[in-house]
């Protein structure tokens, strides 16, 4: 039996005041992207823990696709809310990592915001969403976001890599995205498109970034989703 089992995960979720906590194995059963990224950051990693906090629906309800020049945008409340959630998640990643370090294991905390990202490709050094799916926290929606059973896409994530012996959390069989296309239809930048072949989603990340760089909070692909 691993030292850190489902009971430990349940206790930590409660003690660290997390809404989501899952464990993905890092081995030959893992998606190749997840395994490669994890082992590039920490070659001895055998598990990725994914931590999540709910984004308040009251704040998401204030989001709007555009605003008039000079108009105050209540949707900008999303930024301080993200800062708050990231702070809580980051503290939890360090609290858990300290626990593993004291037990003699390695542990690398990966932050909720500010993960190193190649700005030419907009690819981060760690695929949080894929780790979250592999740890059973949800599935990927047509909006390219993690869709969870309880909160839909309204979640912030952080992660930890460790070589502590962990029991992986089960992966649900159902797909939490209903393929309703509401996110695609609502995207003001037309950055989301119906995916082709077996892809889960199709997003032009640069179109999304360009739209948001004009000072708009957007995130209408979160607000439009009926899940959670
Ligand atoms: S955040 Fe990006 S992908 Fe989502 S609706 Fe806005 S422009 Fe589209
Ligand atoms: S809005 Fe509809 S299609 Fe888009 S992620 Fe949510 S459930 Fe899936």
For residue 3, the model assigns a pLDDT of 78
Encoded tokens for 150 = 């309880």
Atom of ligand 1 nearest to the CA of 203: 3
For residue 1, the model assigns a pLDDT of 56
Residue with tokens 């945008």: 73
Q: What is the pLDDT of residues 142-197, one digit of tens each?
A: 999 999 999 999 999 999 999 999 999 999 999 999 999 999 999 999 999 999 88
Residue 80, φ and ψ in degrees, nearest 5: -65, -30
> What does the DSSP 8-state code read for residue 10?
H
Give the predicted TM-score (pTM) of the model: 0.94
For residue 12, the model assigns a pLDDT of 97
Q: What is the mean pLDDT of residues 204-211?
A: 94
Encoded tokens for 191 = 């950055």
Q: Whole-angstrom Cα distance, residue 181 to residue 4?
A: 40
Q: Whole-angstrom Cα distance, residue 23 to residue 56?
A: 24
Q: Is the CB of 178 under 6 A from ligand 2?
A: yes
Domain boundaries defined on the chain: 6-223
Q: Whole-angstrom Cα distance, residue 141 to residue 147?
A: 6
pLDDT of residue 228 exceeding 60, the answer is: yes
- Give distance in angstroms: CA of 119 to centre of ligand 2: 27
For residue 214, the model assigns a pLDDT of 82
Bridge partners of residue 158, in order along the sequence: 51
Beta carbons of 134 and 33 less than 8 angstroms apart = no
Q: Whole-angstrom Cα distance, residue 195 to residue 210?
A: 21
Q: What is the pLDDT of residues 70-111, one digit of tens each?
A: 788 899 999 999 999 999 999 999 999 999 999 999 999 999
Beta carbons of 139 and 155 less than 8 angstroms apart = no
Q: What is the mean pLDDT of residues 5-31?
A: 96
Question: What are the pocket residues of ligand 1 if the criterion is a CB atom closer than 6 Å to any ligand atom?
Answer: 187-189, 191-192, 203, 208, 211, 218-221
Q: Whole-angstrom Cα distance, residue 177 to residue 175?
A: 6
Q: What is the DSSP string of 72-102?
A: --GGGGHHHHHHHHHHHHHHHHHHHHHHHHH
Q: Relative to the alpha carbon of 219, which ligand is closest?
A: 1
For residue 205, the model assigns a pLDDT of 95
pLDDT of residue 69 exceeding 80, the answer is: no
Residue with tokens 């993200």: 82
- Which residue has its alpha carbon closest to ligand 2 atom 5? 141
- Give distance in angstroms: CA of 174 to centre of ligand 1: 25
End-to-end CA distance of the chain: 34
Q: What is the mean pLDDT of residues 119-132?
A: 94
């Amino acid at each position: 039996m691993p030292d850190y089992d489902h009971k430990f995960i349940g206790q930590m979720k409660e003690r660290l005041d997390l809404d989501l906590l899952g464990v993905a194995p890092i081995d030959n059963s893992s998606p190749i992207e997840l395994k490669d990224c994890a082992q590039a950051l920490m070659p001895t990693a055998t598990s990725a823990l994914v931590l999540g906090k709910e984004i308040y629906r009251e704040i998401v309800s204030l989001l709007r696709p555009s605003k008039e020049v000079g108009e105050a945008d209540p949707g900008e409340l999303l930024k301080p809310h993200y800062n708050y959630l990231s702070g809580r998640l980051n503290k939890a990643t360090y609290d858990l990592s300290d626990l593993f370090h004291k037990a003699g294991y390695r542990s690398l905390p990966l932050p909720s915001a500010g993960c190193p990202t190649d700005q030419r490709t907009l690819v981060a050094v760690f695929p949080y969403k894929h780790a979250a799916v592999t740890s059973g926290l949800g599935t990927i929606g047509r909006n390219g976001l993690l869709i969870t059973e309880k909160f839909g896409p309204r979640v912030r994530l952080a992660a930890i890599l460790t070589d502590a012996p962990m029991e992986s959390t089960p992966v649900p069989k159902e797909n939490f995205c209903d393929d309703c296309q509401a996110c695609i239809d609502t995207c003001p930048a037309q950055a989301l498109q119906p995916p082709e072949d077996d892809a889960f989603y199709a997003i032009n990340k640069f179109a999304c970034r360009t739209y948001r760089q004009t000072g708009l909070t957007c995130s209408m692909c979160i607000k439009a989703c009926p899940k959670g």
